[in-house]
Amino acid sequence: MSSDEENFKVNKASHKKLLSEINDIVKFQHIKKPKRTEPAVKNDEFHLIKTKALGNENDDDSVKKPNKKNVAITALANLVRKNESQKKISSQFQETFKKTKVLKKPLEKIHADRIQRSIAYDSTKNKLSKWDAIVTKNKNADQLKFPLNYDKTFMDGDDHKETGFSKFRYKTKMVQEMEAIHNECFPKDEEPELLKNDSAELLTLEEMKERRKELGRLKMRESYQITKKRLQGKIKSKKYHRLKKREDIKQKLKEFEELKAINPEAALKELEKIDKQRIQERVNLRHKNTGTWAKNMKIRAKYDTNAQQEIEAQLQIARDLTQKQQKESSDSDSDEEMPGSNKNADNPWLNGKNPEDEDDIFGGCRKFWEEKNANEKALKKLRKVNEKQTVPEEPKPENNEENGKIENSGTEKSDEEQSMSENDDELSENSSDENTESQNNSKNGWIEEDVVSSDNEDPSNFINDLFDKAEENINKKLDSKLKELKPKLLTVTKPEKKRKKTLKNKPDVNDPKYLEFEREAQLGDIDEALNEGSDDQEQVTRLPPSKKLKNEIQQLKEDKKSFMRGTKDEIDPSSFLNIKSKHLLTSIPKTQELDDVDEEEYATLAAANKMSLAEAFENDDIINDFIEDVEAEASKNQITSNSTLMGWGSWAGEGIKEKKRKFIDRNPQIKRKDRVIVNTTPHESLKKHLISSVPFPFTTIKDFQASMRAPIGKDFNPSSAHSKLTMESVITKAGTIIEPMSEEALVKTKDERKKRKFMKKPIAR
């Protein structure tokens, strides 16, 4: 190896020289480079010569490898650039040089043709595929009537309706009565009016579809309105609602005025209704300190003690009102508690102001306060525990973040404490009203929400919430990151998605399977699938068809054998004779008749009598005879061994013909006790008429036989069934020209239909 390398190194220069020389040889070409003697407009393709061989005249090459002999244009351009007067030309050249592209060598004719052919094939295939659906439909149709009148496929499917004459039928009294009874028994589903109105008209399939689409559009609009309303209700902006309310009120007032003018009584009722609504709203005490008056008072209360008192008085009224209601409710609830409550009633002090009531008012705040403290304590404990525990373990990233969050929240909470102390008195007034709370929150810049406020009694819950929060934060971060990533991803994945969507949403109309019915999965299918999995049928299905058939044949034969065996086992001649017989009380023929019979008859009768005597004795003779017969029959079917020796008892030498088998040993050992001998194999003359292979669409004998099991003749079926079973697959109307199918037969896509309409309209005008 090393020596080789050395050699290589040594020969480097000479090697290069050699190469260049060889190249020169190769460059030699008999066809000369065309020289332009006259200005030519047309470039003859036969003058195109291998550029490589002629030296790198190609611009592309010249740029990279300026040959010594040939002058490269770029080099010229570079030279020119320096000259200012020609700078423009050089820049122009540069531009064109950048823009232009050298055309690739045209493909050889064979390949080009092939490509063209393949493209043409694909396009025509695509074009023709629109027929696939209707072709498969017609192929599978039970019956085709030519000429096909696909353009007039009415929904009723009634051919007579086109004329309109046959629509009218005289109804006899009987028919009318029958119809009445039918209508009574099976009341018709009322059709939608839209359809009903036009039922007189004849609707083609297309028109029907159009109509359906219109209905769908209406429904969509309706649902759109509904969602719009719902969304409007969800808007949280107060300003919006205020404005809306005002507008509504204005509207209502307008309507009310109008009503007043038209129908004063109704207007009065309306007024009452409005009043009632207002009262109800007022009564529910939502407005005890949110009204403008209360708000003003609150502001004044800082400076004016009277105002404070007034507010308190107002609140007191509210309290009293609520208390009364509570009492009433408790009264109604339980009478047994009365003695306890009486005690309280006795105490006048407790009457005015209940300690419980106080709790009610401040309860919310106090609770909140206590819980906060408790949470703080619990948190501290937890932190301590955490510090202890986290030493051995590796802190997970999530945990870290959570811990950080907890600390943050801790600092926030300390802030809260301060603000709480400041707003203490105000909170006492506020009680638990949501609106005010949210206002306060906004004032103080609290970020913490009411998650912690009333519901959480356990510190553990609080902690859980904290964890949840941490998780949320993580999720948020992830989301934001994802958002950043998404646009990038989308640019990559969008086209695919689109394609998928189109695939999902729009089934390919041209696909022949589009018109096929989707078969619903049934229980039987599952069973079948299971069976296949469990049985060795699966193996069978993989086998080649001939082997499958062989297996089936084997099975059929075994079935037959087992059937025969079954009969053999069951029936023993001696056993069958012991079947109990019923006695029929038949009369005995007159014996006197014997007197006037002839001699012959007498003899037969005597024989009969003898037989009846014989029957009293053993019947074995007949049975044994039959058994012997059976055995002989069975032995015939046994494999016989030929003990004939070639040439024995005949002349030796060439050309001896084999004698018919003379010495045949029947195997007498096997004894069968059958009472019945049945020749089940089809005899030769019948075999002539039997089929000896399974015809095409079938792969198993069983299926073929099943398909042939029912007769289709008139003698075995009702006439309606017979006509159905022997229906012609194609009917051609005599005397009509059957034209090739036109594009009218295709189900139109939407834009195609539009086009057609557009085309039709001007003609109609």
Partner 1 sequence: MEDTIKVDKDDKKQFKKKFSKYEKFTAKSNFERKPLKLQSLDLEDHQLKKYERGSGKINKNKIRTGFFKNKLFEQEKNFQYAVEQAARAEILLNEDSGYLMADDGEETTEFTQDDIKQHVDITSAAKSFKLNLDFGPYNINYTRNGRHLVIGGKKGHLAAFDWISKKLYCEFNVMEEIMDVKWLHLETMFAVAQKKWVHFYDNKGTEIHCIKKMNEVNQLEFLPYHFLLASGSDNGWLKWLDVSIGEMVAQFPSLDDRITLMRHNPGNATISVGSAKGIVSFWSPAVHRKPLATILCHVAPITAMAFNSDGSKLATAGMDKLVKLWDTRSFKEPLTQYKTKAIVHNIALSQRNVMALAIGDKCEIFRTVGTGNIQSIDSYLKHSENSSISSIQYVPYEDILGIGTKNGFSSILVPGCGEANFDTLEQNPFRTKQQRREHEVKALLEKIPSDLITLDASQIVNVDIEHLEEKLDKKPEVQIPISKLNEKKTSKRSGVDNAKIKQLQKAEEKQHLLKAAKQEEFIEVRKQKKIKRNADTDDSDTNVLDRFRKKSKK
Site for partner 1 in 593-612 (CB under 8 A): 593, 597, 601, 608, 611-612
Dihedral angle of Cα 459, 464, 466, 472, to the nearest 10 degrees: -160
Peptide bond into 147 cis (omega under 30): yes
CA distance 466 to 456: 12
Output the smallest distance, CB 605 to partner 1, in A: 9
Q: Torsions phi, psi of 172, nearest 5?
A: -75, 170
State yes or no: residue 710 binds partner 1 (CB under 8 A).
yes
Tell me which residue of 455, 367, 369, 364 sits closest to 419, measured CA to CA: 369
Interface with partner 1, residue 13, by CB under 8 A: no
Of 143, 136, 156, 251, nearest to 199 by C-alpha is 156
Name the one range near partner 1 by CB under 8 A: 255-263, 332-340, 489-497, 670-678.
670-678
Residues in 310-369 that interact with partner 1 by CB under 8 A? none
- Rounded to a whole number of angstroms, the minimum distance from the CB of residue 654 to partner 1 is 22
Report the residue count for the chain.
Answer: 765
Q: Smallest distance, Å, CB 626 to partner 1?
A: 5
Rounded to an integer, what is the distance from CA 600 to the centroid of its chain?
A: 91
- Contact call for residue 622 and partner 1 (CB under 8 A): yes
Which one, 19 or 243, has the nearer CB to partner 1? 19
Please give the Cα distance from 695 to 710 (Å, whole number). 18
Among 227-235, 314-322, 501-509, 702-710, which window interacts with partner 1 (CB under 8 A)?
702-710
Chain position carrying tokens 């088998």: 661
| Near partner 1 by CB under 8 A: residue from 8, 97, 240, 293 | 8
Q: Mapping DSSP to helix (H, G, I), strand (E, B) and coil, where does residue 81 land?
A: helix
SS (H, E, C) 161-206: HHCCCCCCCCCCHHHHHHHHHHHHHCCCCCCCHHHHHHHHCCCEHH
Asked if 555 touches partner 1 (CB under 8 A), the answer is no
Place of tokens 């309290």: 319
Residues 6 or more apart in contact with residue 78 via CB below 8 angstroms: 90
Stretch that binds partner 1, among 43-51, 188-196, 327-335, 613-621 (CB under 8 A): 613-621
Looking at residues 76 to 135 of the shown chain, list those that interact with partner 1 (rule: CB under 8 A). 111
CA angle 758, 135, 696 (to 5 degrees): 175
Question: Using CB under 8 A, which of 6, 7, 17, 19 touches partner 1?
Answer: 19
Q: Are 728 and 143 in contact (CB under 8 A)?
A: yes
Cβ(741)–Cβ(146) below 8 Å = no
Closest Cα to residue 380, out of 463, 315, 439? 463
The correct pick among 35, 68, 82, 139 for binding partner 1 (CB under 8 A) is 139
511 Rama sector, left if φ>0, alpha if ψ -120 to 50, beta otherwise: beta
Q: Does 658 bind partner 1 (CB under 8 A)?
A: no
Residue 589, SS3 per DSSP: coil
- Does residue number 705 form part of the binding site for partner 1 (CB under 8 A)? yes
Q: Does 543 bind partner 1 (CB under 8 A)?
A: no
User: Of 533, 655, 697, 762, which one interacts with partner 1 (CB under 8 A)?
Assistant: 697
The residue within the footprint of partner 1, chosen from 1, 41, 678, 763 (CB under 8 A), is 678
**What does the per-residue mask of binding to partner 1 show for 469-508, with x meaning CB under 8 A?**
----------------------------------------
Q: Is 215 in the site for partner 1 (CB under 8 A)?
A: no
- Candidates 154, 446, 467, 698; binder of partner 1 (CB under 8 A) is 698
Binding partner 1 (rule: CB under 8 A), the pick from 35, 65, 238, 506 is: 65
Which amino acid does the sequence have at 638?
Answer: Q
Least spacing, CB of residue 549 vs partner 1, in Å: 6
User: Binding to partner 1 by residue 26, rule CB under 8 A?
Assistant: yes
Of the two residues 414 and 679, which places its CB atom closer to partner 1 in the complex?
A: 679
The verdict on 709 binding partner 1 (CB under 8 A) reads yes
Residue of 623, 496, 533, 621 lying closest to 571 (CA atoms) = 623
Q: How many CA atoms does the CB half-sphere of 717 hold within 13 Å?
A: 13
What DSSP element (H or E) covers 215? helix 205-234
Instruction: With contacts defined by CB under 8 A, name the span among 305-313, 416-424, 623-631, 734-742 that binds partner 1.
Output: 623-631
How many Å apart are CA 353 and CA 361, to the nearest integer? 12
Q: Is 682 in the site for partner 1 (CB under 8 A)?
A: yes
590-626 in b/e form (b: 16+ CB < 10 A) is: eeeeeeeeeeeeeeeeeeeeeeeeeeeeeeeeebeee
307, 462, 486, 450: which is closest to 371 by C-alpha?
462
x/- binding map, residues 141-170, to partner 1, per CB under 8 A?
-x----------------------------
The residue within the footprint of partner 1, chosen from 28, 303, 696, 758 (CB under 8 A), is 696
3-state SS class at 144: strand
Q: Which positions from 557 to 596 touch partner 1 by CB under 8 A, shown as an x/- string? A: x---------x--xx-x--xx-xxxxxxxxxxxx--x---
CB of 573 to partner 1, least distance (A): 6
Interface pick for partner 1 out of 373, 707, 732, 749 (rule CB under 8 A) = 707
Neighbours of 585 (CB within 10 A): 4
Enumerate residues 721-760 that contact partner 1 by CB under 8 A. Answer: 721-722, 724-725
- Is 623 near partner 1 (CB under 8 A)? yes
Query: Closest separation between CB of residue 567 and partner 1, Å?
Result: 6
Per CB under 8 A, the list member of 178, 181, 603, 670 interacting with partner 1 is 181
Residues 278-317 that bind partner 1 (CB under 8 A): none
**From 198-206, 254-262, 265-273, 708-716, span contacting partner 1 (CB under 8 A):** 708-716
According to CB under 8 A, which one of 195, 556, 606, 738 is a site residue for partner 1?
Answer: 556
Distance between CA 727 and CA 717 in Å, rounded? 14
Which of 701, 726, 697, 699 has its CA nearest to residue 711?
Answer: 726
